A = this chain, B = another copy of it.
Protein backbone atom coordinates (compact mmCIF):
# COMPACT_ATOMS: atom_id res chain seq x y z
CA UNK A 1 0.00 0.00 0.00
CA UNK A 2 2.77 2.47 -0.86
CA UNK A 3 1.46 5.99 -1.36
CA UNK A 4 1.93 7.44 -4.83
CA UNK A 5 2.49 4.23 -6.85
CA UNK A 6 1.78 4.65 -10.59
CA UNK A 7 0.66 2.35 -13.41
CA UNK A 8 2.48 1.87 -16.76
CA UNK A 9 0.90 5.09 -18.13
CA UNK A 10 2.29 7.07 -15.20
CA UNK A 11 -1.12 7.56 -13.54
CA UNK A 12 -1.45 7.30 -9.76
CA UNK A 13 -3.27 4.09 -8.91
CA UNK A 14 -2.87 3.41 -5.21
CA UNK A 15 -6.14 3.67 -3.30
CA UNK A 16 -4.85 5.94 -0.52
CA UNK A 17 -3.65 8.64 -2.93
CA UNK A 18 -6.89 8.41 -4.90
CA UNK A 19 -8.95 8.68 -1.71
CA UNK A 20 -6.95 11.69 -0.49
CA UNK A 21 -7.50 13.35 -3.84
CA UNK A 22 -11.26 12.71 -3.62
CA UNK A 23 -11.33 14.28 -0.14
CA UNK A 24 -9.52 17.41 -1.39
CA UNK A 25 -11.86 17.79 -4.35
CA UNK A 26 -15.00 17.33 -2.29
CA UNK A 27 -13.85 19.78 0.42
CA UNK A 28 -13.29 22.33 -2.33
CA UNK A 29 -16.82 21.73 -3.69
CA UNK A 30 -18.55 21.82 -0.29
CA UNK A 31 -17.08 25.12 0.90
CA UNK A 32 -18.47 28.42 -0.40
CA UNK A 33 -16.75 29.86 -3.45
CA UNK A 34 -16.32 33.50 -2.45
CA UNK A 35 -15.35 36.77 -4.07
CA UNK A 36 -12.35 38.67 -2.71
CA UNK A 37 -14.68 40.71 -0.44
CA UNK A 38 -16.21 37.73 1.35
CA UNK A 39 -13.58 37.42 4.04
CA UNK A 40 -15.33 34.85 6.24
CA UNK A 41 -15.75 32.42 3.36
CA UNK A 42 -12.15 33.03 2.31
CA UNK A 43 -11.02 32.28 5.88
CA UNK A 44 -13.12 29.10 5.93
CA UNK A 45 -11.42 27.93 2.75
CA UNK A 46 -7.95 28.94 3.92
CA UNK A 47 -8.38 27.16 7.25
CA UNK A 48 -9.64 23.98 5.56
CA UNK A 49 -8.01 23.70 2.13
CA UNK A 50 -4.39 24.50 3.07
CA UNK A 51 -2.76 21.09 2.63
CA UNK A 52 -3.00 18.88 5.72
CA UNK A 53 -2.70 15.21 6.59
CA UNK A 54 -6.48 14.51 6.18
CA UNK A 55 -5.97 11.57 8.50
CA UNK A 56 -9.45 11.76 10.08
CA UNK A 57 -11.51 11.70 6.87
CA UNK A 58 -9.19 9.08 5.41
CA UNK A 59 -9.69 6.80 8.42
CA UNK A 60 -13.45 7.26 8.18
CA UNK A 61 -13.46 6.17 4.54
CA UNK A 62 -11.02 3.27 5.00
CA UNK A 63 -12.87 1.97 8.05
CA UNK A 64 -16.24 2.09 6.26
CA UNK A 65 -14.71 0.11 3.37
CA UNK A 66 -13.21 -2.41 5.81
CA UNK A 67 -16.67 -2.78 7.35
CA UNK A 68 -18.13 -3.54 3.92
CA UNK A 69 -19.66 -0.18 2.96
CA UNK A 70 -21.09 -0.36 -0.54
CA UNK A 71 -23.72 2.38 -0.86
CA UNK A 72 -23.26 5.91 -2.24
CA UNK A 73 -19.62 6.93 -2.09
CA UNK A 74 -20.65 10.57 -2.26
CA UNK A 75 -22.63 10.49 1.00
CA UNK A 76 -19.79 8.79 2.85
CA UNK A 77 -17.29 11.25 1.38
CA UNK A 78 -19.48 14.05 2.75
CA UNK A 79 -19.39 12.48 6.23
CA UNK A 80 -15.58 12.39 5.91
CA UNK A 81 -15.43 16.04 4.83
CA UNK A 82 -17.65 17.08 7.75
CA UNK A 83 -15.08 15.57 10.12
CA UNK A 84 -12.20 17.39 8.41
CA UNK A 85 -14.12 20.69 8.49
CA UNK A 86 -14.64 20.39 12.24
CA UNK A 87 -10.94 19.58 12.64
CA UNK A 88 -10.06 22.71 10.62
CA UNK A 89 -12.40 24.81 12.80
CA UNK A 90 -10.73 23.46 15.94
CA UNK A 91 -7.28 24.40 14.63
CA UNK A 92 -8.36 27.98 13.85
CA UNK A 93 -9.91 28.20 17.33
CA UNK A 94 -6.93 26.75 19.19
CA UNK A 95 -4.56 29.15 17.40
CA UNK A 96 -6.52 32.30 18.38
CA UNK A 97 -4.72 34.96 20.49
CA UNK A 98 -6.88 34.20 23.56
CA UNK A 99 -5.93 30.47 23.21
CA UNK A 100 -2.47 29.29 22.08
CA UNK A 101 -1.72 32.53 20.19
CA UNK A 102 0.01 30.58 17.41
CA UNK A 103 1.66 32.29 14.46
CA UNK A 104 2.09 29.44 11.99
CA UNK A 105 -0.11 26.47 11.05
CA UNK A 106 0.39 24.10 8.14
CA UNK A 107 3.42 26.27 7.22
CA UNK A 108 1.15 29.32 6.69
CA UNK A 109 0.35 32.34 8.87
CA UNK A 110 -2.54 31.37 11.16
CA UNK A 111 -6.05 32.38 10.04
CA UNK A 112 -6.47 35.16 12.62
CA UNK A 113 -3.15 36.70 11.54
CA UNK A 114 -4.24 36.70 7.91
CA UNK A 115 -7.89 37.75 8.35
CA UNK A 116 -8.08 39.26 11.84
CA UNK A 117 -9.59 37.82 15.00
CA UNK A 118 -13.23 38.69 14.24
CA UNK A 119 -13.20 36.96 10.86
CA UNK A 120 -11.37 33.94 12.32
CA UNK A 121 -13.98 33.59 15.06
CA UNK A 122 -16.83 33.89 12.55
CA UNK A 123 -15.13 31.29 10.34
CA UNK A 124 -14.94 28.84 13.27
CA UNK A 125 -18.68 29.14 13.93
CA UNK A 126 -19.54 28.95 10.23
CA UNK A 127 -17.36 25.85 9.72
CA UNK A 128 -18.83 23.98 12.71
CA UNK A 129 -22.30 24.79 11.49
CA UNK A 130 -21.42 23.82 7.90
CA UNK A 131 -20.25 20.39 9.06
CA UNK A 132 -23.69 19.62 10.47
CA UNK A 133 -25.37 20.88 7.31
CA UNK A 134 -23.18 18.59 5.20
CA UNK A 135 -24.14 15.56 7.30
CA UNK A 136 -27.86 16.41 7.18
CA UNK A 137 -27.72 16.61 3.38
CA UNK A 138 -25.40 13.65 2.62
CA UNK A 139 -26.84 11.72 -0.31
CA UNK A 140 -27.57 8.01 -0.18
CA UNK A 141 -27.42 7.75 3.62
CA UNK A 142 -30.56 7.12 5.66
CA UNK A 143 -32.15 9.87 7.75
CA UNK A 144 -31.69 7.75 10.83
CA UNK A 145 -27.94 7.30 10.17
CA UNK A 146 -27.56 11.03 9.54
CA UNK A 147 -29.21 11.85 12.88
CA UNK A 148 -26.94 9.43 14.70
CA UNK A 149 -23.95 11.02 12.94
CA UNK A 150 -25.03 14.53 13.99
CA UNK A 151 -25.28 13.34 17.61
CA UNK A 152 -21.82 11.68 17.45
CA UNK A 153 -20.13 14.73 15.95
CA UNK A 154 -21.78 17.11 18.38
CA UNK A 155 -20.61 14.96 21.29
CA UNK A 156 -17.05 15.07 19.91
CA UNK A 157 -17.05 18.87 19.71
CA UNK A 158 -18.67 19.94 22.98
CA UNK A 159 -17.82 19.82 26.68
CA UNK A 160 -17.11 16.11 26.42
CA UNK A 161 -14.82 16.56 23.44
CA UNK A 162 -12.63 19.14 21.67
CA UNK A 163 -13.90 22.09 23.73
CA UNK A 164 -13.07 20.32 27.01
CA UNK A 165 -9.65 19.24 25.71
CA UNK A 166 -8.72 22.77 24.74
CA UNK A 167 -10.01 24.10 28.07
CA UNK A 168 -7.99 21.55 30.07
CA UNK A 169 -4.89 22.26 28.01
CA UNK A 170 -5.25 26.01 28.57
CA UNK A 171 -6.13 25.90 32.23
CA UNK A 172 -4.00 23.02 33.48
CA UNK A 173 -1.30 22.47 30.86
CA UNK A 174 1.32 24.46 32.76
CA UNK A 175 0.73 22.74 36.12
CA UNK A 176 2.24 19.37 37.05
CA UNK A 177 -0.19 16.64 35.97
CA UNK A 178 -0.45 12.91 36.56
CA UNK A 179 -0.07 10.57 33.54
CA UNK A 180 -3.80 9.86 33.87
CA UNK A 181 -4.66 13.56 33.74
CA UNK A 182 -2.47 14.05 30.65
CA UNK A 183 -4.11 11.02 29.00
CA UNK A 184 -7.56 12.41 29.78
CA UNK A 185 -6.75 15.79 28.19
CA UNK A 186 -5.36 13.97 25.14
CA UNK A 187 -8.52 11.90 24.99
CA UNK A 188 -10.67 15.04 24.79
CA UNK A 189 -8.27 16.90 22.47
CA UNK A 190 -7.67 14.09 20.00
CA UNK A 191 -9.41 10.77 20.60
CA UNK A 192 -12.94 12.20 20.55
CA UNK A 193 -12.79 13.38 16.92
CA UNK A 194 -11.16 10.11 15.82
CA UNK A 195 -14.01 8.41 17.66
CA UNK A 196 -16.63 10.45 15.78
CA UNK A 197 -14.91 9.58 12.48
CA UNK A 198 -14.88 5.83 13.13
CA UNK A 199 -18.39 5.86 14.63
CA UNK A 200 -19.72 7.72 11.60
CA UNK A 201 -18.20 5.01 9.40
CA UNK A 202 -19.88 2.34 11.55
CA UNK A 203 -23.20 4.23 11.51
CA UNK A 204 -23.15 4.54 7.71
CA UNK A 205 -22.57 0.80 7.44
CA UNK A 206 -25.09 -0.11 10.15
CA UNK A 207 -22.40 -1.97 12.14
CA UNK A 208 -23.25 -3.87 15.32
CA UNK A 209 -22.87 -2.38 18.78
CA UNK A 210 -20.00 -4.83 19.43
CA UNK A 211 -18.14 -3.48 16.37
CA UNK A 212 -18.83 0.09 17.42
CA UNK A 213 -17.39 -0.70 20.83
CA UNK A 214 -14.18 -2.11 19.30
CA UNK A 215 -13.89 1.07 17.24
CA UNK A 216 -14.27 3.18 20.40
CA UNK A 217 -11.28 1.36 21.92
CA UNK A 218 -9.41 1.91 18.64
CA UNK A 219 -10.13 5.65 18.75
CA UNK A 220 -9.03 6.03 22.33
CA UNK A 221 -5.65 4.43 21.60
CA UNK A 222 -5.30 6.13 18.24
CA UNK A 223 -5.84 9.54 19.82
CA UNK A 224 -3.27 8.83 22.52
CA UNK A 225 -0.73 7.60 19.93
CA UNK A 226 -1.40 10.60 17.73
CA UNK A 227 -0.97 13.09 20.57
CA UNK A 228 2.25 11.40 21.71
CA UNK A 229 3.57 11.64 18.15
CA UNK A 230 2.61 15.31 18.10
CA UNK A 231 4.43 15.92 21.41
CA UNK A 232 7.51 13.98 20.18
CA UNK A 233 7.57 16.19 17.07
CA UNK A 234 7.26 19.47 19.00
CA UNK A 235 10.88 20.52 18.45
CA UNK A 236 10.89 19.45 14.82
CA UNK A 237 10.74 22.03 12.04
CA UNK A 238 8.74 19.58 9.92
CA UNK A 239 5.36 20.07 11.61
CA UNK A 240 4.41 23.31 9.86
CA UNK A 241 3.50 24.76 13.29
CA UNK A 242 5.22 27.09 15.76
CA UNK A 243 8.06 24.95 17.17
CA UNK A 244 8.41 24.41 20.93
CA UNK A 245 4.76 25.25 21.65
CA UNK A 246 4.90 22.65 24.42
CA UNK A 247 7.85 24.20 26.31
CA UNK A 248 6.90 24.28 29.98
CA UNK A 249 3.77 22.22 29.41
CA UNK A 250 3.16 18.99 31.29
CA UNK A 251 3.03 16.72 28.24
CA UNK A 252 4.02 13.05 28.44
CA UNK A 253 7.27 13.82 26.62
CA UNK A 254 8.22 16.65 28.98
CA UNK A 255 7.38 14.59 32.06
CA UNK A 256 8.70 11.12 31.09
CA UNK A 257 11.14 11.82 28.27
CA UNK A 258 11.16 10.82 24.61
CA UNK A 259 12.14 7.19 25.05
CA UNK A 260 9.40 6.25 27.49
CA UNK A 261 6.90 8.24 25.44
CA UNK A 262 7.80 6.35 22.26
CA UNK A 263 7.37 3.06 24.14
CA UNK A 264 3.97 4.26 25.34
CA UNK A 265 3.05 5.28 21.78
CA UNK A 266 3.96 1.82 20.44
CA UNK A 267 1.85 0.19 23.19
CA UNK A 268 -1.14 2.28 22.10
CA UNK A 269 -0.52 1.33 18.46
CA UNK A 270 -0.58 -2.33 19.48
CA UNK A 271 -4.05 -1.84 20.92
CA UNK A 272 -5.14 0.09 17.82
CA UNK A 273 -4.16 -2.89 15.65
CA UNK A 274 -5.80 -5.36 18.01
CA UNK A 275 -9.13 -3.54 18.08
CA UNK A 276 -9.12 -2.81 14.33
CA UNK A 277 -8.52 -6.51 13.65
CA UNK A 278 -11.47 -7.39 15.89
CA UNK A 279 -13.77 -4.74 14.40
CA UNK A 280 -12.93 -5.46 10.74
CA UNK A 281 -12.41 -9.18 10.38
CA UNK A 282 -12.43 -9.48 6.58
CA UNK A 283 -10.41 -6.51 5.41
CA UNK A 284 -7.48 -4.80 7.14
CA UNK A 285 -6.56 -1.84 5.00
CA UNK A 286 -7.20 0.67 7.84
CA UNK A 287 -5.01 -1.24 10.29
CA UNK A 288 -2.24 -1.60 7.70
CA UNK A 289 -2.48 2.08 6.78
CA UNK A 290 -2.23 3.18 10.43
CA UNK A 291 0.77 0.93 11.08
CA UNK A 292 2.58 2.18 7.98
CA UNK A 293 1.71 5.82 8.63
CA UNK A 294 3.06 5.79 12.20
CA UNK A 295 6.17 3.85 11.14
CA UNK A 296 6.98 6.58 8.60
CA UNK A 297 6.34 9.42 11.06
CA UNK A 298 8.34 7.79 13.86
CA UNK A 299 11.26 7.24 11.47
CA UNK A 300 11.18 10.97 10.64
CA UNK A 301 11.06 12.01 14.32
CA UNK A 302 13.69 9.39 15.28
**Given A128-B128, A147-B147, A151-B137, does the pair A118, B170 have CB atoms closer than 8 Å?**
yes
Question: Are B136 and A147 closer than 8 Å at their CB atoms?
Answer: yes
Does A144 have its Cβ within 8 Å of any Cβ on chain B? yes
Copies held by the complex: 2
CB distance from A97 to the nearest CB of B (A): 8
Instruction: Choose among B44, B133, B143, B159 the residue that contacts A126 (Cβ–Cβ < 8 A).
Output: B159
Question: Are A155 and B133 closer than 8 Å at their CB atoms?
Answer: yes
Interface size counted on chain A using CB atoms at 8 A: 49
- Interface set, chain A 117-145, CB cutoff 8 A to B: 117-119, 121-122, 124-126, 128-130, 132-133, 135-137, 142-144
Does A207 have its Cβ within 8 Å of any Cβ on chain B? no
Q: Which B residues lie within 8 Å of A113 (CB)?
A: none
CB distance from A166 to the nearest CB of B (A): 6
Rounded to whole angstroms, the CA-CA distance of A89 and B163 in the bound complex is: 14
Rounded to whole angstroms, the CA-CA distance of A146 and B135 in the bound complex is: 12
Question: Are A158 and B144 closer than 8 Å at their CB atoms?
Answer: no
Does A52 have its Cβ within 8 Å of any Cβ on chain B? no
